Amino acid sequence: MHMADALISPAVGGTMWVAAAGLTVYSARKLKEEMDDRKTPLMGVLGALVFAAQMINFTIPGTGSSGHLGGAMLLAVLLGPYAAFITMASILTIQSLFFADGGLLALGCNMINMGFFPCFIAFPLIYKRVAGRGPDRKRILAASMAASVMGLLLGAVGVVTETFFSGISELSFKTFILLMLPIHLVIGVVEGFVTASVVGFVCRSHPEVLQMADESSKGNSISLKPVIITLAVIAALTGGFLSWFASTSPDGLEWSVARSSGNKELPAPAGKLHAFFSGLQEKTAFLPDYSFRKEKPEAPAANEAKKGNDEPWPGVSAGTSVSGLLGGVMSLVLVGLIGIGIRTFQKRKSK
């Protein structure tokens, strides 16, 4: 569920970056307060373990497919939420840089989806409550199962929400979420089993490891609420600012360019959110109509609405569109020529 840059808008990416950066700074400060520098190498090595563990698969009975460890919940159980978030953030950064798994602008989204939800929501609210204090194996198993599933589902909802607000994909919120949730429920159950079996093994052979993590996360688990509220407010403000900026200035620029060059630009579509609300409005507006006049008049009205929707996209005259495409291809060729030019220049120089 790594999100790519191509699927998000700058406003959404920027907002999530701000939120993720805030969480990282906050977690780093909390870690400094703990002053346990044994944790530094432990975090790093456990982060590498999450990578390494992906090399070991297990077969899922009956399906022929295989599963492996997801990581965030295991990290949270072993390290506590703050250290786990930072480790998860570094894992995601390395994945995006070296494996192209998730983009750089989408890094904020990914940190929130795959770091924040498991470490700061699922871990304290589900795992801790269910697992309790004592080293009771069954409860720990149930807790890691429930928390893994919940963390993944929340992450999937995050992916869908971010994609929806970006308005790049045509998938509607409902369809996308209906596609994502079942898949991630299955993945979550598998990950839950893995986390549970590893935590179970640790609990059987070295229970003191779990206690150490428990103590380190005990002192400061209460103070999270104000932080989340502040972050949400900051993120909402930046998001509002960025989307205002995105909706006014570049479009304004395009508009003026279009006017000055006489080129008929495609009109900017109303944002997804706007479409959603106007759809809602239409529905609520139709209902009273519907109850007054029962059948026929609605059909033409709907047709008209459809026509109205079509109209913002007039068939652009073939001339301009062909020249646009031609220009695109030509500029690709041009760029390619520049590349070849530089390379031959280099070769000549090295001779």
| Positions in 84-143 near another protein (CB under 8 A) | 86-87, 89-91, 93-94, 96-101, 103-105
Rounded to a whole number of angstroms, the minimum distance from the CB of residue 64 to another protein is 9
Q: What is the C-alpha to C-alpha distance for residues 252 and 114, in angstroms, rounded to an integer? A: 36
Q: Is 299 exposed, middle or buried (0-12, 13-18, 19+ CB in 10 A)?
A: exposed
* Residue 308: closest CA among 258, 264, 272, 270: 270
Structure token pair of residue 324: 């646009």
Q: Which DSSP helix (H) or strand (E) runs through 66? A: strand 66-67
Stretch 172-191 residues interacting with another protein (CB under 8 A):
172
Q: Minimum distance from CB of 128 to another protein (Å)? A: 21
- Tokens linked to 62: 């009956």
- 350 burial type by CB count under 10 A (0-12 exposed, 13-18 middle, 19+ buried): exposed
Give the nearest distance from C-beta 141 to another protein in angstroms. 11
The secondary structure of residue 58, as a DSSP letter, is E
Q: How many residues at the interface with another protein, by CB under 8 A?
A: 115
Q: Which residue's CB is nearer to another protein, number 132 or number 250?
A: 250
Nearer to another protein, 210 or 224 (CB): 210
Question: Is 32 a residue that touches another protein (CB under 8 A)?
Answer: yes
DSSP string, 278-340: HHHHHHHHHHHHHHHS-STTHHHHHHHHHHHHHTTS----HHHHHHHHHHHHHHHHHHHHHHH
- Token match 């983009």: residue? 103
Min. distance of Cβ 254 from another protein in angstroms? Answer: 8
What phi, psi does 280 have (nearest 5°)? -60, -45
DSSP state for residue 61 in the 8-state scheme: T
Task: Find the part of the chain contacting another protein (CB under 8 A) among 25-33, 120-128, 219-227, 228-236.
Answer: 25-33
Taking the complex as a whole, how short is the minimal distance between the CB of residue 223 and another protein, in angstroms?
A: 18
Beta carbon nearer to another protein, 130 or 212:
212
Cβ atoms of 106 and 8 closer than 8 Å? yes
Least Cβ distance, residue 293 to another protein (angstroms)? 30
* Amino acid identity, position 306: K
**Within 41-60, which residues bind another protein (CB under 8 A)?**
41-49, 51-60
Decide whether 296 or 347 has the Cβ nearer to another protein: 347
* Contact residue for another protein among 10, 135, 207, 271 (CB under 8 A): 10
**Which residues ranging from 205 to 244 are in contact with another protein (CB under 8 A)?**
205-206, 209
* The one among 226, 288, 300, 315 contacting another protein by CB under 8 A: 315
Q: Binding another protein by CB under 8 A: which of 232, 233, 257, 280?
A: 257
Q: Residue 6 CB, nearest distance to another protein (Å)?
A: 4
Q: Which span (27-35, 118-126, 215-223, 280-288) binds another protein, by CB under 8 A?
A: 27-35
Q: 261: helix, coil or strand?
A: helix
Helix (H, G, I), strand (E, B) or coil at 55: coil
Q: Pick between residue 56 and residue 299 the one whose CB is nearest to another protein.
A: 56
Which amino acid, residue 8? I
What is the nearest approach in angstroms of another protein to the Cβ of residue 267?
Answer: 10
Residue 250 touching another protein (CB under 8 A): yes
Shortest Cβ 285–another protein spacing (Å): 23
Q: Which of 130, 142, 157, 168 binds another protein (CB under 8 A)?
A: 168
Radius of gyration of the chain (CA): 26
